[in-house]
Structures are given as C-alpha cells and as structure tokens.
Amino acid sequence: MSQADKTASGGQAGEGVDRAAQLMRRMDATQPTATFKKVMALTSAGVFVDAMDVYLAGGVKSTLAETGFATNEQTAAFLSAGFLGLFIGSLIAGLIGDKLGRRKAFQFNLLLFGFATILGALSPNMTFMIAMRFFVGLGLGSELVTSFSMINEFAPVARRGRWCAIGSTIANCGSPIGMFLCLFFITIWSPLGQESWRLVFSVIGVAAIIVCIARQAMPESPRWLIQHGRFDDAEAIISRIEREMREAGISPAEQVVFEKSAMDSDAHLARNLFLGIVVVIGTSLTQYTYTTFGPSILKNIGLATQTSLLSTTITMLAAPLGALIGALLIEKLGRRVEVSGAFIWVA
C-alpha cells in the first residue's frame, strides 16, 4: 500500500470515529418519545410473557405427578431442563445479540420460546416434554438478558436505572398471573380434565407468538448499529427520535461529563460485578425455590392443590409490588442503598 493509500485509509477511519462519537452524543441527548415508548412496551411485553412461563412450571409440576403423566424423577428432570436452558440461554444471549443485533436476537429468542412452549403443550409423553422445556428455557434465558440490554440502550442515560426497574416491575407482574393461570385452568375450570395443564402452556406459547409478530415494527438499537459501523441506519433512527422530540416540545437531555476517579478502575468494576452476581444468585435461589417447590411443599403437608396454588399466587403478588417500590426509590436512594437493603430484607 502506497503512502497516499495509507493516508486515505487513516482519514476514513478517523472520519468513522468522529461520526460514531457524534451519533453517540446525539443518542445520549435523546429523551423518551413515541419510539422509545414503543420499544419499552414491546420489550416489557416479552419479559412479561417470559416471567409467566418461568413461574408456572412449579404449579404444573405437582399436577403432572398427581395425574400420573410423570413420575417424581421426571418432574425433577422437567424443572432441571428448564433451568439448564435458562443458564445456557443467558450465557449465549450476549454473543447472539452482539453478532446479529438486538432486534434479530429478540425475534429468534421469542420464536424459540413460543414454539417450544406450544410443542410442550402437545407432548405425547414426559420425555418429549422435558426436551421441549430445555428449549423453552434457552429462549427464556436469552430473551431476559437481551430485553434489558435493549431498554438500557434506548433509555435516556440519566434515567436508565429507573427505566430498567420499570421493566422489571412489568416482568414481575407475570409471576402472579402465571400462577393464577395454573390455579384457573387446573383447579377452577378444567375443560381438559386431568390434562388441562396443556391449556396453560398453550396460552403462554400463543401470547409469545403474538408479541413476536408485534415486534416486527420495532427498530434496531442505534448504539448497536453505531458499534457495527452502520452509521446511516443509526442516524435514521436517531433523527426520527429527535423529530419526535421537536414535535412534542421536548428539550434534549443535558450532557453530563463525568470526571475520572478511582471508581472507574477495573478493580472497582470487578468488585461491583462480583457483588452484583452474589446478590442476584441469592435472590434467584430464594425466589425460584419458593415458586418452584412451594405448591408441592404445601400440598405434601395436607393442603389441596387449589389451596396450595392459591397461596402461592397470593404470595407472588408481592413481586411486582417490590419491583414498583424499587423503581420509585432507585433514583432517590441510589443503587447501593437499595440493593443492600433489599438483599438484607430477602435474607
């Protein structure tokens, strides 16, 4: 390569860096508009449906064993397959989202989850159902991680924590509703008799497909587009948001410049990441253990299936309430105080 070619190449690279920085600054200045609200609604709808499915597994589990469709060992494998899929799905979610884009990852995750759930409802035997549960968990794990990435990348910088907390509130509304579906279809209105649990999975699967279809109109994350050099596509979306802001009379967000401090070090980030992982693991163990085994434990001490499911449903009403309180207080108390206080309360 000649010196002139090298100079031209370096100039183009420099222009790319400058344009990326300019687009990022414009994105940082955006405020909530119709586009953001659409992304928030469609993203929250997905995590809401996912949460319904995660929590209803415990309610269905006891029914599968009670009706003779599955042995105790098979129901244990059924739950384990779902959680294994969740674990693997959450691990690969970042890779898929970074490679294909948030929007494509969204659609793939939700389609996998929806179709696997519907196939699970049609299971001829428990072995097939266990296999489908793994794929359901795979889609669930990827969907949850990608959803909060999408909210984080579209939300105004100064209010990211609050918008993610609002998304979590909506998602947690799925937990009592998922348990209520079990209560309704299995014990109150059982059109399929002992196999009415199939209706529970069918409703969730169809809901996931409907949300997936609605998401066709959702834009890609401008930040992902910028990172992958697709500046024209990113600018088109950012320009649309800026136009919506002007039409609504919304001023751009104030650009905040943070000074470097010891809190920006890799050691500080690693420590916070480790503590965050510990908190999430502890909370998830508590939450999933209760919702998964609560109905069975209550039934084993002599309560009827309807009573055990009702008790679990009422208990899970606290999940969206807790998330709502967190959303309201996160900007006032700060992350450290709220996370520490909530973790102690869970313990």
Confidence (pLDDT) at 225: 93
Cβ proximity of 150 and 221 under 8 Å: yes
Distance CA 177, CA 235 (A): 40
298 in a structural domain: yes
Residues 195 and 124 sit within 8 Å (Cβ to Cβ): no
Q: Which of 297, 281, 258 is nearest to 347 (CA)?
A: 281
- Residue 50 forms part of a structural domain: yes
In a domain, 153, yes or no: yes
Is residue 258 a part of any domain in this protein? no
- The count of other CB atoms within 10 Å of the CB of residue 339 is 18
**Alpha-carbon distance 136 to 205, whole Å?**
10
Q: Which residues of the chain have pLDDT under 50?
A: 4, 6-9
Contact 120, 129 (CB under 8 A): yes
Provide the CATH number for the domain around residue 206: 1.20.1250.20
Please classify residue 21 by burial: count the beta carbons closer than 10 Å to its beta carbon, then call 0-12 exposed, 13-18 middle and 19+ buried.
exposed
Q: Which residue has the tokens 């401008």?
A: 222
Structural domain that includes position 155: 16-248+266-346
**Cα–chain-centroid distance for residue 158?**
21
Residue 259 DSSP SS3: coil
CA 286 to chain centre: 19
Phi first, then psi: give them for residue 32, nearest 5 degrees.
Answer: -60, 125
Note the pLDDT of residue 8: 47
pLDDT at 13: 61
* Residue 248 host element (H or E): helix 231-248
Q: Is residue 256 part of a domain?
A: no
Contacts of range 195-202, beta carbons closer than 8 Å, 24 or more positions apart? 195/67, 195/69, 197/60, 197/63, 197/64, 198/121, 198/122, 199/121, 200/56, 200/59, 200/60, 200/121, 201/53, 201/60, 201/117, 201/118, 201/120, 201/121, 202/117, 202/118, 202/121
Determine contact, residues 237/35, Cβ cutoff 8 Å.
yes
Whole-angstrom distance, CA of residue 327 vs CA of residue 165: 5
Is residue 217 a contact partner of residue 146, using CB atoms and an 8 Å limit?
no
Residue 271 placed within a domain: yes
Task: Identify whether 315 is part of a domain.
Answer: yes
How many domains in the chain? 1
Cβ(226)–Cβ(16) below 8 Å: no
Query: Given this model, what pLDDT does residue 1 score?
Result: 53
Supply the pLDDT for residue 129.
Answer: 94
Establish if 155 belongs to a structural domain. Answer: yes
Helices (H) and strands (E) in the chain, counts: 14, 0
Amino acid found at 31? Q
Helices 126-154 and 34-66 cross at an angle (nearest 10°) of 160
